Structure 1
Amino acid sequence: MPASSGTDLAPACTPRRSARNSSMQTTGRITLTGLLTTSGALICAASLIGFGGQIWWVFELASHFRPQYALTLGLCLPLLLYRRRYRWAAVFGAFAVLNAMCLAPRLLPLAEAAVHPGADQATFRVLLANVNAANRDYPKMRRAILKYEPDFIVLLEVTPWLLERLTEFDGRYPHRAVAPREDNFGIALLGRQPFLRTEIMQFGVAGLPSITAEIAVGERRLILVGTHPLPPVSAEAAQNRNEQLAALALFARQARHPLLLLGDLNVSPWSPYFARLLTDSGLRDSADGRGILPSWPVGLAPLWIPIDHALYSDGVEILRRETGPTLGSDHYPVIVDFHLARS
């Protein structure tokens, strides 16, 4: 009798252990749908956090990747609909639209993007390039200058090493204002035609050099500004950058002539501080209506964002804008064609 009871109990216990193990395996399994849902939820959170950039400098970092947010959430939608996750699909769709609305000024065609100069209007080309202080690929920089033949060149992170090599362009660009440095904040402005006035200025408390130049265009005047604020890698650096952007906005607002501001501003178009710069200065973004035009970081396409900018005031009309080929730097150059509007 005892032997028989033991035999009867053994089969009854085995299925219960199997059911428990099966349940544990199902609970611990990671599915593609679950992974995408979790990732999408984090992107939705980052989308909201990006609007709080003025609360904390770290939050602003989340504002720079609006194109990536919109694209990733949009790509998640078909799979969620296929899996009948309709609530998550609705949430992701709403946040994809929210991010797309932030991108709209650069993506939607504008009348300004189709401006054509008159036969009697002088047109100019400016090349803006953060060449990277550690970059020693001078042949690529040289080829870009020869290819685009700009009238003005604004170079950032200019070192004495680079200036020495640029002497070969003394004949083409005899007019210069330079402030070379061994760190990442040297700057130079080269021009084909004379400058009426140039000045090395410091906007904000960081003490970094910027260049302003006044240029004669017939009987009119144009002001060019080249600048490079600190990157927001800490609370103090972010504050210094914001103060420099505020000082630049005041300078542009007070300018008595048409103005073109060029620089690696270390801020994306979707940052609240970029929006404040445009509002306070009265300047407009030359990329509006022309695309996202990312300029950094070279070699990391999934993280591409536009932080190299060309902003312009009333009296300037943008004819064309593009990003150029790599110069051996971590930034792509920006090329802008423009003219002065008729009085």
Structure 2
Amino acid sequence: MLWPFRLDPADTAATRVIWYNVHLDNADAAGESAHLIAQNADIVALAEIQLRDPGWQALRQHYPHGCAHADDSPFALAVFARAPLAACDILFPGEYPAIRAVLGDGRVLYAAHPPPPINADLARARITYLHELAVRLATEDRVLLVGDLNSSPYSPHYRVLLRDGGLRATTRNLLPTWLPLGLNLDHALIRHGGAHTTALPWHTSDHRPLQTDWSTHDHPL
């Protein structure tokens, strides 16, 4: 439960990234926007966001760059940034979206949200998604993957993702990110470089945000 035993220290010069599954039917988009803006992140990556809701307008104005996969389903996905990105593309590992965003210094951010394994078809789709994602990540240099992976750290498919993608976790296994069961389904995984991740307070969603300070260099451990 305490693995990984050592985590990267905070870096005040790091790029701050927030990952948050905001929930498809979020009842307080305006309040969520205000909370996110107050964190002063450089980039926000959001799952299940319904951008037609005017409550997200302030957030979108604060983060004018990036890209989004708009969908009236839990698989809406967005990466928004305060500064221009070198690239921002929608990918489809299997049949579900992911986002690959390239920062100006060449670092690569992936945002991911595979389907939950609530039936046999979706379970197979999740495995395919994570496998294809791992293949892509293994070809990258400095990369951060954030997402609601619908997999706890004890899932064998999560462990295969770490192994095949050459990734390491930046939070401990025991961190609860999803209610009502308190499971750790939201992750920030790093390949090369350093990242210090903390969980932000619960708000309106059934998930809680993760805040990752993403360094441009490796931290010696």
CA distance in 2, matches of 1:139, 1:293: 27
Q: Deviations over 1:33-72 (max 9, x none)?
A: xxxxxxxxxxxxxxxxxxxxxxxxxxxxxxxxxxxxxxxx
Establish whether residue 242 from structure 1 lines up as the match of residue 124 from structure 2.
no
| Letter matched to residue 240 of structure 1 | A
Aligned to 1:335: 211
The correspondence of residues 1-343 of structure 1 with structure 2, limited to 5 A, is 103-106=1-4, 108=5, 110=6, 112-113=7-8, 115=9, 117=11, 122-162=13-53, 164-204=54-94, 207-217=95-105, 221-255=106-140, 257-288=141-172, 292-297=174-179, 300=180, 303-314=181-192, 316-319=193-196, 321-341=197-217
Q: Is the Cα contact below 8 Å between 2:36 and 2:59 reproduced in 1?
A: no
* TM-score, reference length from structure 2: 0.92
Give the direction of change, closer, same or farther, for the CA distance of 1:264–1:116 in structure 2 (3 Å limit): closer
Q: After TM superposition, which residue ranges in structure 1, 4 or more long, deviate above 3 angstroms?
A: none
1:160 positional shift: 3.3
Supply the distance in 1 between the matched residues of 2:34 and 2:97 (Cα, whole angstroms): 27
**1:187, 1:292 → 2: CA distance?**
26
Report the structure number with the largest CA radius of gyration.
1
Which string of whole-angstrom CA distances, capped at 9 and with x for unpartnered residues, describes residues 310-334 of structure 1? 11101x2113x22212231111111
Taking structure 1 as the reference length, the TM-score comes to 0.60
1:265-310 CA-partner distances (Å, limit 9, x unpaired): 000001111111101110101114xx6221001xx3xx21100111
Q: C-alpha separation between the residues in 2 aligned to 1:313 and 1:208?
A: 22
Q: What secondary structure sits across from 2:215 in the alignment?
A: strand
Q: CA–CA distance in 1 between the matches of 2:60 and 2:146?
A: 22
CA distance in 2, matches of 1:322, 1:286: 9
Counting strand residues as a fraction of each chain, which structure ranks higher?
2
Conserved? CA contact 1:160–1:182, under 8 Å = no
Contact 2:68/2:79 (CA < 8 Å) preserved in 1? yes
Q: Distance in 1 between matches of 2:17 and 2:24?
A: 21
The total of aligned residue pairs comes to 219
Structure 2 contact 49–78 (Cα < 8 Å) conserved = yes
Which runs of 5 or more residues in structure 1 are unaligned? 1-102
User: Which one has more relative contact order, counting CA pairs under 8 Å at least 6 apart?
Assistant: 2
Identity %: 29
Q: Is the 8 A contact 1:269 1:306 kept in 2?
A: yes
RMSD: 1.9
**Counterpart Cα distance in 2 of 1:116 and 1:237:** 37
Alpha carbons 2:29, 2:56 under 8 Å: kept: no
| Residues 102-138 of structure 1: CA deviation (Å, up to 9, x unaligned) | x2414x3x1x43x354x8xx41111111111111212
**Alignment gaps of 5+ in structure 2:** none
Whole-angstrom distance in 2 between the partners of 1:311 and 1:318: 8
